[in-house]
Amino acid sequence: MTSGQRITKLRKERDLQQKEVAAAIGMNRIVLNRIELGKRPLRDDEAVALADFFHVTTDYLLKGVTAQPRDKKGVRIPVLGRVVAGIPIEAVEEILDYEEITPELAATGEFFALKIRGHSMEPRMMEGDVVIVRRQDDVDSGDVAIVLVNGNEATVKRVKKQPEGITLIATNTSVYEPHFYSNKEIAELPVRILGRVVELRGKL
Protein backbone atom coordinates (compact mmCIF):
# COMPACT_ATOMS: atom_id res chain seq x y z
CA MET A 1 0.00 0.00 0.00
CA THR A 2 1.34 3.43 -0.94
CA SER A 3 1.31 6.57 1.20
CA GLY A 4 -1.53 7.91 -0.94
CA GLN A 5 -3.56 4.75 -0.47
CA ARG A 6 -3.05 4.89 3.29
CA ILE A 7 -4.27 8.50 3.32
CA THR A 8 -7.32 7.50 1.29
CA LYS A 9 -8.02 4.66 3.71
CA LEU A 10 -7.78 6.91 6.76
CA ARG A 11 -9.94 9.55 5.14
CA LYS A 12 -12.69 7.10 4.13
CA GLU A 13 -12.66 5.42 7.55
CA ARG A 14 -13.59 8.83 8.97
CA ASP A 15 -16.09 9.56 6.19
CA LEU A 16 -14.23 12.69 5.13
CA GLN A 17 -13.98 14.27 1.70
CA GLN A 18 -10.66 15.38 0.25
CA LYS A 19 -11.66 19.03 0.48
CA GLU A 20 -12.34 18.68 4.23
CA VAL A 21 -8.95 17.13 4.95
CA ALA A 22 -7.15 19.60 2.69
CA ALA A 23 -8.85 22.59 4.32
CA ALA A 24 -8.00 21.33 7.81
CA ILE A 25 -4.26 21.19 7.10
CA GLY A 26 -4.00 24.11 4.67
CA MET A 27 -3.37 22.01 1.57
CA ASN A 28 -4.71 22.44 -1.93
CA ARG A 29 -7.35 19.76 -2.57
CA ILE A 30 -5.90 19.07 -6.02
CA VAL A 31 -2.51 18.41 -4.45
CA LEU A 32 -4.08 16.00 -1.95
CA ASN A 33 -5.86 14.24 -4.79
CA ARG A 34 -2.59 13.82 -6.70
CA ILE A 35 -0.88 12.44 -3.59
CA GLU A 36 -3.68 9.94 -3.01
CA LEU A 37 -3.46 8.83 -6.66
CA GLY A 38 0.31 8.43 -6.40
CA LYS A 39 0.96 11.17 -8.96
CA ARG A 40 2.91 13.33 -6.49
CA PRO A 41 5.18 12.31 -3.60
CA LEU A 42 4.18 13.10 -0.04
CA ARG A 43 6.52 15.73 1.42
CA ASP A 44 7.81 15.35 4.97
CA ASP A 45 6.00 18.42 6.30
CA GLU A 46 2.78 17.27 4.63
CA ALA A 47 3.20 13.82 6.20
CA VAL A 48 3.58 15.43 9.61
CA ALA A 49 0.45 17.58 9.16
CA LEU A 50 -1.61 14.61 7.92
CA ALA A 51 -0.31 12.33 10.67
CA ASP A 52 -1.27 14.94 13.25
CA PHE A 53 -4.73 15.31 11.69
CA PHE A 54 -5.41 11.56 11.60
CA HIS A 55 -3.64 10.85 14.92
CA VAL A 56 -1.24 8.33 13.45
CA THR A 57 2.53 8.25 13.11
CA THR A 58 4.44 9.59 10.14
CA ASP A 59 6.05 6.14 9.92
CA TYR A 60 2.62 4.72 9.21
CA LEU A 61 1.91 7.20 6.42
CA LEU A 62 5.34 6.97 4.83
CA LYS A 63 6.33 3.36 5.48
CA GLY A 64 3.19 1.52 6.53
CA VAL A 65 4.40 0.89 10.08
CA THR A 66 1.38 0.07 12.25
CA ALA A 67 -0.56 3.19 13.15
CA GLN A 68 -0.69 4.20 16.76
CA PRO A 69 -1.80 7.29 18.64
CA ARG A 70 0.95 9.69 19.57
CA ASP A 71 1.34 11.21 22.97
CA LYS A 72 4.40 13.40 22.80
CA LYS A 73 4.95 16.78 24.32
CA GLY A 74 4.28 19.47 21.74
CA VAL A 75 6.57 22.33 20.78
CA ARG A 76 5.20 25.81 21.49
CA ILE A 77 5.29 28.46 18.77
CA PRO A 78 4.05 32.08 19.02
CA VAL A 79 0.75 33.20 17.51
CA LEU A 80 1.40 36.60 15.95
CA GLY A 81 -1.15 39.26 15.18
CA ARG A 82 0.95 40.58 12.33
CA VAL A 83 4.21 40.09 10.47
CA VAL A 84 6.07 43.18 9.27
CA ALA A 85 9.15 43.59 7.08
CA GLY A 86 12.48 43.92 8.82
CA ILE A 87 11.34 42.62 12.19
CA PRO A 88 12.59 39.13 13.12
CA ILE A 89 9.81 36.85 14.32
CA GLU A 90 11.55 36.63 17.71
CA ALA A 91 11.38 40.43 18.08
CA VAL A 92 7.68 40.85 17.31
CA GLU A 93 5.97 42.21 20.41
CA GLU A 94 2.44 41.42 19.32
CA ILE A 95 2.33 37.80 20.45
CA LEU A 96 -1.33 36.95 20.97
CA ASP A 97 -1.00 33.39 22.21
CA TYR A 98 0.92 30.17 21.69
CA GLU A 99 0.07 27.04 19.73
CA GLU A 100 1.61 23.60 20.01
CA ILE A 101 2.96 21.63 17.07
CA THR A 102 4.25 18.09 17.13
CA PRO A 103 7.97 17.43 17.64
CA GLU A 104 8.00 15.73 14.24
CA LEU A 105 6.71 18.87 12.52
CA ALA A 106 9.03 21.12 14.52
CA ALA A 107 11.99 19.03 13.35
CA THR A 108 11.26 19.89 9.69
CA GLY A 109 12.00 23.61 9.97
CA GLU A 110 11.22 26.86 11.78
CA PHE A 111 7.59 27.73 12.46
CA PHE A 112 5.35 30.52 13.65
CA ALA A 113 1.58 30.95 13.79
CA LEU A 114 -0.43 33.86 12.44
CA LYS A 115 -3.95 34.99 13.28
CA ILE A 116 -6.09 35.61 10.20
CA ARG A 117 -7.36 39.16 9.74
CA GLY A 118 -9.93 40.20 7.17
CA HIS A 119 -12.23 38.18 4.95
CA SER A 120 -10.24 37.59 1.74
CA MET A 121 -9.74 33.86 2.37
CA GLU A 122 -13.31 33.05 3.48
CA PRO A 123 -14.98 30.61 3.71
CA ARG A 124 -11.87 28.45 3.99
CA MET A 125 -10.05 30.70 6.46
CA MET A 126 -12.18 32.85 8.72
CA GLU A 127 -11.16 35.97 10.60
CA GLY A 128 -9.73 34.84 13.93
CA ASP A 129 -8.53 31.46 12.65
CA VAL A 130 -4.88 30.59 13.17
CA VAL A 131 -2.52 29.24 10.51
CA ILE A 132 0.68 27.34 11.24
CA VAL A 133 3.47 28.60 8.99
CA ARG A 134 6.80 27.04 8.03
CA ARG A 135 9.36 29.74 7.39
CA GLN A 136 10.66 29.55 3.82
CA ASP A 137 11.34 32.06 1.06
CA ASP A 138 9.79 30.05 -1.76
CA VAL A 139 6.75 27.81 -2.26
CA ASP A 140 5.29 25.62 -4.97
CA SER A 141 2.67 27.05 -7.31
CA GLY A 142 -0.73 26.47 -5.71
CA ASP A 143 0.54 26.63 -2.12
CA VAL A 144 -1.00 29.00 0.42
CA ALA A 145 1.70 31.34 1.68
CA ILE A 146 2.38 34.34 3.88
CA VAL A 147 3.41 37.10 1.45
CA LEU A 148 4.82 40.54 2.17
CA VAL A 149 4.13 43.18 -0.47
CA ASN A 150 5.88 46.57 -0.59
CA GLY A 151 7.18 46.18 2.95
CA ASN A 152 3.69 46.33 4.39
CA GLU A 153 1.99 43.87 6.71
CA ALA A 154 1.99 40.32 5.45
CA THR A 155 -1.05 38.73 3.84
CA VAL A 156 -2.23 35.14 3.43
CA LYS A 157 -2.84 34.21 -0.21
CA ARG A 158 -2.57 31.30 -2.62
CA VAL A 159 0.44 31.73 -4.89
CA LYS A 160 0.27 30.94 -8.60
CA LYS A 161 3.65 30.99 -10.30
CA GLN A 162 4.17 32.00 -13.91
CA PRO A 163 7.37 32.57 -15.92
CA GLU A 164 6.68 36.29 -16.00
CA GLY A 165 5.75 36.65 -12.30
CA ILE A 166 3.30 35.48 -9.66
CA THR A 167 -0.40 35.95 -8.97
CA LEU A 168 -1.75 36.21 -5.44
CA ILE A 169 -5.19 34.62 -5.23
CA ALA A 170 -7.81 34.97 -2.50
CA THR A 171 -10.63 32.55 -1.90
CA ASN A 172 -13.13 35.39 -1.53
CA THR A 173 -12.61 37.28 -4.80
CA SER A 174 -15.35 39.78 -3.91
CA VAL A 175 -12.97 41.16 -1.29
CA TYR A 176 -9.64 40.68 -3.07
CA GLU A 177 -9.37 40.07 -6.79
CA PRO A 178 -6.40 38.03 -8.07
CA HIS A 179 -3.40 40.35 -8.27
CA PHE A 180 -0.48 39.75 -10.65
CA TYR A 181 3.04 40.94 -9.87
CA SER A 182 5.67 40.93 -12.63
CA ASN A 183 9.21 39.76 -11.97
CA LYS A 184 10.27 43.41 -12.04
CA GLU A 185 7.66 44.34 -9.40
CA ILE A 186 8.70 41.36 -7.28
CA ALA A 187 12.25 42.71 -7.20
CA GLU A 188 11.45 46.41 -6.86
CA LEU A 189 8.45 46.60 -4.49
CA PRO A 190 9.53 44.00 -3.25
CA VAL A 191 7.21 41.01 -3.01
CA ARG A 192 8.56 38.45 -0.54
CA ILE A 193 7.33 35.02 0.48
CA LEU A 194 7.84 34.57 4.21
CA GLY A 195 6.49 31.07 4.69
CA ARG A 196 4.14 28.30 3.65
CA VAL A 197 0.90 27.60 5.48
CA VAL A 198 1.00 23.96 6.58
CA GLU A 199 -2.03 23.83 8.86
CA LEU A 200 -5.23 25.72 9.57
CA ARG A 201 -6.69 25.79 13.08
CA GLY A 202 -10.20 27.17 13.08
CA LYS A 203 -11.80 28.98 16.00
CA LEU A 204 -14.86 27.52 17.69
- Percent helix, strand and coil across the chain, each to the nearest 5: 30, 30, 45
Q: Which residues pair with 146 in a beta bridge?
A: 156, 195
- In the residue annotation, 184 being an active-site residue is answered as no
* Catalytic, out of 3, 72, 120, 184: 120
**For residue 46, with 0-12 CB atoms within 10 Å meaning exposed, 13-18 middle and 19 or more buried, which class applies?**
buried
* Catalytic, out of 9, 73, 157, 182: 157
The whole-angstrom separation of Cα 78 and Cα 60 is 29
List of residues 6+ apart from 63 with CB closer than 8 A: none
- In the residue annotation, 161 being an active-site residue is answered as no
Active-site positions read 120, 157
